[in-house]
Structure 1
Amino acid sequence: MAEGGFDRRLIAPMILGSVLNPINSSMLAVALIPIGRAFDVSPAQTAWLVTGLYLATAVGQPVIGRLVDAFGPRPLYLAGTALVGLAGLVGAVAPDLGVLILSRVLLGFGTSAAFPASMALLRAESDRTGRSSPAGVLAALSASAQVTAVVGPTLGGLLIGLGGWRLIFTINVPLSVACLVLGALWLPRRPRAASGAGTASGASGASPAHGTSGGGAARGAIDVSGIALFAVTLTAFMLFLMRPRPSGWYLVVITLAAGAAFALRELRTADPFIDLRVLRGNGPLLATYLRQFLAYTTSYAFLYGFTQWLEEGRGLSASGAGLLLLPLSLSAIAVTAITGRRAEVRGKLLAGSLVQVAGVAALLLLHVSSPVWALVAVGAVIGVPQGLTGLANQNAMYAQADPERIGSSAGLLRTFMYLGALAASAADAAVFPRGATTTGLHHMAWLLVGTAVLFLVTTLADRSLARVGRQDEDEPGRAAEDGPAVTAEGTSRR
């Protein structure tokens, strides 16, 4: 690398690690029907392969993000990517659905490390070089994840056609090895000194990637009770959503009780797992998390629901469904390539939400005899918001988050993404209780139209987005136009 410049050796391990989750998420879309047939289980049961991954990821992202803030990105990156390889081996030899779900849970935890580690590395590099938001690197990370996610169904279909559904688990082994080699070679072992020009965030002292927190966090001070209550809240809520019925009332009670206890715990502890005091004062960041949830609820429900309908309702093979979704991949890649280096976010979010509404509404026009061109067109339209919203939300989070908690803030952004995926999984299980029928597809479409409209409304209402990416000093942690930024202590600054 050039002295004082961004260390470009970091890009390869960051990108490769960041694609592990989207590749595993999207490849499974075409494998649910073959797996269900192999183990003789229904779509409602195979939905737990989706839910298991996302429950683990929703909990794992902020947990590992907090560990990254405390111990630095290198050890968490290496441990997480090693776990991905183990999970791939377990899935490749799984004798039943239960073991396969276990492998997906391991994948969820393993793939949770790379994104918060990457955000921490970027923040450390900004501090070291004295330069502001590395928009090009952020765009590369987001683009790689977006491209992988949308190419995943096509790749998964090809792998299944070549050697069966177990290949989509086996592929994690070489990916894990590559991450471990690149990470061991190039990730820094200790904090790097900031350049004489100062830091991009305006903070002094050690890099936040290595554990200093404005809230006085000590290295290794992990809120185990908060983590446990967060996990119980999410798990109970998802168990209810997967089969909502009056007899499941006790799950609602557990969710409310654990959620209340979690909130009280986080507000009272000196070093919380999720600093609700910071979130409470940072309206723009909260709005970004909400948009992340809404966007990915729609995106993942479409990905899994539409793909299952193509295979079961329309009668396509897994490889055929994957190939039919290739235009979705191409449109998402094209949009990301065209817009990726532009840091402004409001226009991307508005355009993405409008196209998303149109795309999911088009599902209402489909039936088993719809021509192939119509199926291709729907996928191509849905690819446009997938190429816009992920990068826009990531850039917004980077600008809005407190720089000394960038790892945990990035992890929380991914948590809301996977909360959306969990909601999508529950929605697909609800509309396809006994198979992926056209009626179920249309029910799903109405749900997604409502979700996409809400995403559009929240984007229109958030005036603060106009400033993100347009500031002369793109300083992370500054709130946008309508609100003060909030530090880890919970105080505001203009």
Structure 2
Amino acid sequence: MELKETAVKRREMLLITAVALGTLLNPLNTTMISVALARLQEDFQLTFADVSWLISTYYLASAIGQPLMGKWSDLFGRKKVFMLGLLLVTLSSSLAPLSPSFGWLIGFRIIQAMGSSALFPSGMGIIRSQITSNQAKALGIISIFSSTSAAFGPSLGGLLLHYGDWPLIFICNFPFIIGSFLLAWKVFPKDPKTAGRAADMDWPGVALFSATIFMWLLFFLSLADGLSLWKLIVGAGLSFWLYRYELRQSKPFINVAFLRKNMNVTRIYVQFILTNIAFYSIMFGIPSYLQRVQMMDPQKTGLVMLSIAGFSVLVTPLVGRWIDRSGSKPPLIAGTASVVGGSLLLLLIQDQASAVTIFLVLCVLGIANGFNNLGMQTALYDFVTKEETGIASGLFMTSRFIGTILSSSLLVALFGKNITTPHLHSMAWICAGIGVLMLALTVRMPRGNMRKGVE
């Protein structure tokens, strides 16, 4: 009996590892490219506004791909969709280094985003179906693993650029792909026969959601040149149309009825959008600033950015114990307050600042990231039942990508034509304001009382 339990636990750990290696590919590739932006600008003769499309299109494809691939995994089989995702990432990672132009590189990044977007929802679905005890803990591990890998992206990207060039950022995916593929092939159960058909998809909902996200992206990217009233009106109109349409569907692409019914969860999504605006503005803005203004090479930039990743990892176990004792709210208050404090500390950075000063300032933002990531994920599971975990996790990741899209738009508005220390300080004030909003939402958050329902 004991041997059987050991074998089951070993299989579950291998299954979690397979999913974790796959799910880290999306956030890792989201941020690894940040250190290469300056190099890509030189290579393809681009402005920061031009090269930012490499970020924006990846976010756009991910925001659409996450719920789309989640629906496909339910219809056609989670193992099939997971493997398909790995194959798409393999294809894009193989071809991107050979891109003859910047347009081709954007195309391969979109394929990479769609492939990596398949891994989180299908992987989460497999874990939910195969791990019956401590399921929320397993889902939390994957979510944390996924979020933490984003923080390590700039550091890894900096090292790769130091020892090679930007193509290495794509080639380094292969160890993760191979490890995930071999483990998934071995431990994932065969997909049951499904009656799913492509016609079962809410294709009008997919089209409306895609058009809405794309229009808001165009609106925010155009803010650098002034307010575009027609884009604002079209974006708002499409949002209202999407809401009304999906509310009437029995199998909607975006379950707005779930959002309307669970207002605490909806507020968590709003807060997670704000969290990602601040986090990704810093993760993409700081590396370009360090290389353009502080004249750091990619390796030194990556080492300085390691402060965010390192302190995120260091505080996560401490935050976990604090959450176990006191719930999600107190750590989230500390995390959101740290966003405000860390953003204001960026104002201390001047031209020709020492690397140590910048490192110490970013440490505070790393601590904030550790608090907020785990705090937001556990807060989500406080307010959803076990049966709602799948839909809640999918919308949680969609919220993340909406936040990242907004962060790229903010950076284009600030850094699109020139990167200077005053522009960095403007970003700091905006992130501090976002932190204040996050703090206000956290203070109003009720203490979760459904923990037993999701365990």
Alignment length, in residue pairs? Answer: 446
TM, length-normalised to structure 2: 0.92
Aligned partner (choices 203, 206, 209) of residue 230 of structure 1: 209
Identify the range of structure 1 (156-165 vs 91-100) with the bigger mean alpha-carbon deviation: 91-100
Change (3 A) 1:360 1:247: closer
Please state if 1:48 is matched with 2:53.
Answer: yes
How big is each residue's C-alpha offset from its partner over 1:358-410, in whole Å with a ceiling of 9 and x where there is no partner? 11111112111222221010111111121122222223333433544533331
Amino acid at match of 1:335: V
1:194 alignment partner in structure 2: none
Query: Deviation at 1:326?
Result: 1.8
Please state if 1:333 is matched with 2:313.
Answer: yes
SS of residue matched to 1:7: helix
1:274 alignment partner in structure 2: 254
Residues in 2 aligned to 1:439 and 1:300: alpha-carbon distance in whole angstroms: 19
Change (3 A) 1:113 1:403: farther
TM, length-normalised to structure 1: 0.85
SS of residue matched to 2:441: helix
Identify the range of structure 1 (304-313 vs 407-416) with the bigger mean alpha-carbon deviation: 407-416
Please state if 1:81 is matched with 2:86.
Answer: yes
Amino acid at match of 2:17: A
How big is each residue's C-alpha offset from its partner over 1:27-73, in whole Å with a ceiling of 9 and x where there is no partner? 11111111111111011111111101100111111111222333342
Sequence identity of aligned pairs in percent?
A: 29
Residues in 2 aligned to 1:275 and 1:247: alpha-carbon distance in whole angstroms: 31
What is the RMSD computed on CA atoms of the aligned residues? 2.3
1:186 alignment partner in structure 2: 187
SS of residue matched to 2:200: coil
Residues in 2 aligned to 1:140 and 1:475: alpha-carbon distance in whole angstroms: 15
Change (3 A) 1:276 1:83: same
1:320 alignment partner in structure 2: 300
Residues in 1 aligned to 2:57 and 2:399: alpha-carbon distance in whole angstroms: 16
How big is each residue's C-alpha offset from its partner over 1:280-315, in whole Å with a ceiling of 9 and x where there is no partner? 010121111111101111000011111111110111
1:480 alignment partner in structure 2: none
Aligned partner (choices 331, 337, 357) of residue 340 of structure 2: 357
Residues in 2 aligned to 1:110 and 1:434: alpha-carbon distance in whole angstroms: 32
Please list, as runs of the form range in 1=range in 2, the aligned pairs for 1:384-403 lying within 5 A after superposition. Answer: 384-401=367-384, 403=386
How big is each residue's C-alpha offset from its partner over 1:54-107, in whole Å with a ceiling of 9 and x where there is no partner? 001111111112223333421111111111111112321112211111122112
Residues in 1 aligned to 2:385 and 2:253: alpha-carbon distance in whole angstroms: 15
Please state if 1:408 is matched with 2:391.
Answer: yes
Change (3 A) 1:425 1:381: same
Q: Comparing both structures, which one devotes a greater share of its residues to helix?
A: 2
Query: Deviation at 1:139?
Result: 4.3
How big is each residue's C-alpha offset from its partner over 1:130-173, in whole Å with a ceiling of 9 and x where there is no partner? x35442x2443234224322222111111111111111012224
Residues in 2 aligned to 1:23 and 1:371: alpha-carbon distance in whole angstroms: 27
Query: Deviation at 1:123?
Result: 2.1
Residues in 1 aligned to 2:65 and 2:384: alpha-carbon distance in whole angstroms: 19
Query: Deviation at 1:250?
Result: 3.2
Change (3 A) 1:177 1:399: same
1:116 alignment partner in structure 2: 121
Please state if 1:31 is matched with 2:40.
Answer: no
Task: Check the 8 A contact 2:73/2:122 in 1, yes or no.
Answer: yes
Please list, as runs of the form range in 1=range in 2, the aligned pairs for 1:446-457 lying within 5 A after superposition. Answer: 446-457=429-440
Amino acid at match of 2:119: A
2:72 alignment partner in structure 1: 67
Unaligned regions of 5+ residues in structure 2, if any?
Answer: none
Query: Deviation at 1:436?
Result: 1.7
Residues in 2 aligned to 1:402 and 1:106: alpha-carbon distance in whole angstroms: 34
SS of residue matched to 2:416: coil
Task: Check the 8 A contact 2:328/2:447 in 1, yes or no.
Answer: no
Please state if 1:440 is matched with 2:441.
Answer: no
Residues in 2 aligned to 1:378 and 1:246: alpha-carbon distance in whole angstroms: 32
Residues in 1 aligned to 2:352 and 2:175: alpha-carbon distance in whole angstroms: 41
1:142 alignment partner in structure 2: 143
Residues in 1 aligned to 2:268 and 2:376: alpha-carbon distance in whole angstroms: 6
Residues in 1 aligned to 2:377 and 2:20: alpha-carbon distance in whole angstroms: 14
Residues in 1 aligned to 2:128 and 2:87: alpha-carbon distance in whole angstroms: 24
SS of residue matched to 2:364: helix
